[in-house]
A = this chain, B = another copy of it.
Amino acid sequence: MTIADGIRESIEKSSWIRKMFEEGARLKAEFGEENVFDFSLGNPDLDPPVEFINKMRSLTSADIKNVHGYMENAGLPEARKAIAEKVARDHGADMEPGNIIMTCGAAGGLNVVLKAILNPGDEVIVIKPYFVEYGFYISNHNGTMVLVETNEDFSLNIDAISRAITPKTKAVLINSPNNPTGKIYSAAEIDALSSLLREKSDDGGSIYLISDEPYREIVFDNVEVPSILNYYNESVIVTSYSKSLSIPGERIGYIAVNPSCSGIDTLMAGMIVCNRILGYVNAPAFMQRVVSGMNNVTVDVDAYKRRRDLFVQGLEDAGYDFPRPEGAFYIFCKSPVEDDVEFVRHLQNYNILVVPGVGFGGPGYFRIAYCVSEDIISRSLPKFREALETFR
């Protein structure tokens, strides 16, 4: 029996999130589910909105011809139309149905974009800390990931990005609101990044700016997420409904390309081919119909805000240090010692499960996912306090 060498390595360096998941299962078996404080997984626990459930019900009752059949690889015309309208409204930008591709979630969308643009050895700049799957997505298509540090407050370090750009740079991939930091890049940051990319793009072809933004609708305190579409022509949005509708298992999302992107017809045609040949063929048909009706629907974001406020207050009171998250459902907290894995292991003694920052290319920190009930958060806070006290 022989499997590919690269995949053998991937199995061996199985992700930190997965390790915490297994540790959690062990602790839950030993202490009971309600006595384990599991903040390791970003699996939204809120129910999907009632409008989503109702739309599913009405579609299963309706008699629509070919409702589960093949379609154009880019997606159902009505889904692309509805989403173009949503993107135009939410981003305050031009968008046409022809610039939308329905995808198997954001993960599927990112693979489609990367396959369409990367020649072997082309570089993609990724900002640390980062969602570890990006590394796999880039190497799937024979690209090279180039990691770049942020400033201390997790804002974009434009100078560092500038230094990382080479003639092989094909794209910069950002994630805002950010997993794991909860940071939202400001309009000034996006503007500066866009200016840099315009300056660095040469006649041979521009550098794409790709924004992975499944958390765009999970933001607090009326903070706005600036849209790259309004700052840079060669810009591509990739997103999903996994978080905004709490349906991550359904694998439904989309790609939206800036209509001002140069050579857009070739880019769209290339991505549509990639959606087909990567084996997605098309995004799941039924879910395309469901989300077409969800332009004004999201989960209860206030529930996430209440949890964030509760957690932030409790951790600050206990003496933890972290930037206040502006969106998503993560807190990226400083470890009291340099070795975040050591502190994460210490927290396990209190039945607290978090993911070490090293798993995101952000050592010295740990990630708390607060897509869990307020009750669990409340009961965990004294444990967090105790853990910090006993560690010192």
Contact = CB atoms under 8 A, between A and B. Distances in A.
B277 A140 contact: yes
Contact of A117 (B3, B41, B68): B3
A115 B11 CA distance: 13
A1 interface: yes
Given A3-B266, A170-B2, A281 B105 contact: yes
A205 B2 contact: yes
Contact of A249 (B71, B142, B279): B71
B1 A273 contact: no
Contacts of A7: 115-116, 270, 273-274
Interface in A1-33: 1-8, 10-11, 14
B267 A3 contact: yes
A294 to B, nearest CB: 13
Residue among A71, A279, A280 with most chain B CB within 10 A: A279
Contacts of A71: 249
A206 B69 contact: no
Nearest to A282: B249
A112 B266 CA distance: 27
Interface residues of A, number: 81
Nearest to A43: B70
A112 B3 CA distance: 12
Q: How many copies does the complex hold?
A: 2
Given A69-B246, A249-B68, A251-B280, A5 B140 contact: no
A248 B141 CA distance: 26
Interface string A106-136: 0111111001111100000000000001001
Interface stretch (A56-64, A88-96, A147-155, A329-337): A56-64
Given A11-B270, A104-B104, A251-B284, 12 more contacts: A1-B205, A1-B262, A3-B117, A8-B266, A14-B273, A43-B66, A60-B60, A67-B249, A70-B248, A249-B282, A249-B284, A279-B280
Interface of A: 1-8, 10-11, 14, 41, 43-45, 48, 53, 56-57, 60-61, 66-71, 104-105, 107-112, 115-119, 133, 136-137, 140-142, 170, 204-206, 234, 245-252, 261-264, 266-267, 269-270, 273-274, 276-287
17 contacts: A3-B267, A4-B116, A4-B141, A7-B273, A10-B273, A11-B269, A11-B270, A45-B66, A57-B61, A60-B60, A68-B247, A107-B280, A109-B279, A112-B279, A247-B285, A249-B282, A249-B285
